[in-house]
Chain A
Amino acid sequence: MNRFLVGAAWIAIYVALATAPALLLARLSPAPPRDFWTEFSVALGFIGFVQILIQFVLVARFRAITAPYGIDIILYYHRQIGMVATLAVLTHPVILIARRPAAAALLNPLAGTWGTRAGVAALLALLLVVGLSIFRRRLRIGYEAWRLSHALLAFAAVAGSLIHIARTGVHVTAPAVLAAWVALTCVLLTPLGYNRLIRPMLAARRPYRVARVERVADDFWTLHAEPVGHRGLAFEPGQFVWLRLHHPYSIDEHPFSILSSSQRPGHVEFGIKEVGDFTRAVGDIAPGAAVYLEGPHGAFTTDRIPSAGYIFIAGGAGIVPFISMLRTMADRGDRRPVLLIYSGRTEDSLAYRDHLDRLAAQSDRPAFEVVYVLEQPPPGWTGPTGRPDTALLRDLLPREGITRDILICGPDAMIAAVERSLLELGVPASRLHTERFELV
């Protein structure tokens, strides 16, 4: 079906699911009416709670749901709306205490009832979830530890909220209504179980093994994987997978962009930059080790962005999806013109230069050009230096009769700066496509 229609349908379902429970409760609750602000505060609590439940579905990587938008967008949205939901939940007690300062005593875990205690605990868990996500890097918390804490704390928040709703609420007292809430919670938490149990089981049926691991730059590795007993991975160039090492049920899983050509599903390569504990140990992975892939994911692919030609702008590890796109184009005999602007700090930090130079030199791809931009150029460097800013992009962008789509992938700050510059230069927004790989 049309991807646009599917996208619109999901949004309609989402909006209905996000608002209906609070409105239904307001219509059906048998409790006597209270003043507007008290009811507003309670409604915010319910709406925040339901929104948090919905997040469990959003981040479960169901391709049917994420495909219209791209999972990086879904995760970006999750990050933002998660904060909004937490603020809504936080506002619930704030309004109540503002109206009746004496109620602040209920924040003391020794006062109050199990219902208020559960509510306070759930709120603290939520604030921790948000705080750890915002400050993860500054607190030097590893990705793995953060992810585990994120899931456990979010789960605790949901459990605490349910107890709070059941014990303190005046709207959810009838057993049938309470049962409906518990059922809603369970349904929306199912994806968590599916992700942890069913999906690894499916991945285990299609195992891969590590063929070799090679160092390609300062802190950059290529991992070669081969399917064991099946035909391999069908993907579009630019997509990525979640990868588990050794064990299909490991909670330690990591998103990696595919480096290889989508025309060669039987040999999948990943470009991996050292950023955390897992990626720093990539060099130690022995050939033959089992690998399990979950995916592909992502909407950042030339197959979904039809254009007469492309301009790729890469920063750091953002080069990986572009290599996959370029190799796929080469394999397909696709001769559309491509200009790649690849920026990095030093010459040694530019991974896959040999690949790129070879592709550029290939006679059947005269339309591929690559420009390297270095922040700290070595002596004798003749290429452009600095960052890809407005002045540099104005010089580099081809002046031609066709309009090419521009794909940007790199660190968040670089993407934001390049996007701003291109808009300043008059590139229409509809021609810009970005992928942020900094998921957290």
Chain B
Amino acid sequence: MRHVYTNRVVVLMTVLLLAAAALAAWLRSRPPAPSPAPAPRAGAPTDDRHLEAGRQAWVRACAGCHASGEPGRPVPSRLSRQTEQLAAAEGGRAYLVDLMLYGASAPAEPGARRFRHPPFDTLTDAEIAGVLNLLLAAAEPAPPPFAPADITPARATPRTREDVAASRPRPAD
């Protein structure tokens, strides 16, 4: 008879665990109190830059490694600065798109650490553009935003990680 009770406990516990998961999800997905995103600047409609898609993709794909660790600031400022510099360099915009799509890999060299980045070709064009725009959101003066149309052509020419790493613009010094 104890087994019949045990079966009931298993069913009860399953319901309880599902309820707990639903409660946790509800707690997490309630509309946030203050938006942690940087406020969009006047004259630049958020939709054009796909910032919302970018923020969601950031949480899903990037934050695992790149999280700033500070509440209210999803993107670490150091990464924003690096992205700004790369976007301003020659060939930098194409490199950023390839980096997102195909990843990068370069061995350690004298003066340079080993560099690796995973590919995120499962993100949509709008998400990739959004992530890059999110990283550039604080740049002054504002660089031209990435559009999904900037990402689409790069998908036609797959590249290896090593290839992408080799195309990284060297810091001008």
Contact = CB atoms under 8 A, between A and B. Distances in A.
Partners in one complex: yes
Interface in A401-440: 419, 429-430, 432-434, 436
A23 B27 contact: yes
A115 B64 CA distance: 9
Interface in A1-57: 15, 18-19, 22-23, 25-27, 29-40, 42-44, 46-47, 51
B22 to A, nearest CB: 6
B21 A76 contact: no
Interface string B48-86: 000000011001100111010111001000000000000
Given A22-B24, A39-B24, A31 B67 contact: yes
B41 interface: no
Question: Chain B: interface secondary structure?
Answer: helix
A163 to B, nearest CB: 12
Contacts of A44: 21
Interface residues of A, number: 57
B29 A73 contact: no
A434 B1 contact: yes
B7 interface: yes
B28 interface: yes
Interface stretch (B9-17, B140-148, B162-170): B9-17
Nearest to B71: A30
A61 B87 CA distance: 61
Contacts of B139: none
B68 to A, nearest CB: 9
Interface residues of B, number: 45
27 contacts: A18-B20, A22-B20, A23-B20, A23-B24, A26-B23, A26-B27, A32-B37, A33-B28, A33-B30, A36-B25, A36-B26, A38-B60, A43-B25, A46-B24, A77-B10, A80-B6, A105-B121, A105-B122, A111-B122, A113-B65, A168-B64, A174-B69, A429-B4, A432-B1, A434-B1, A434-B2, A436-B3
Interface of A: 15, 18-19, 22-23, 25-27, 29-40, 42-44, 46-47, 51, 69-70, 73, 76-77, 80-81, 84, 88, 100, 102-103, 105-106, 111-113, 115, 167-170, 173-174, 419, 429-430, 432-434, 436
Given A18-B13, A113-B65, 13 more contacts: A22-B24, A27-B27, A32-B37, A32-B59, A42-B25, A43-B22, A46-B24, A47-B17, A77-B10, A102-B123, A168-B64, A173-B64, A173-B69
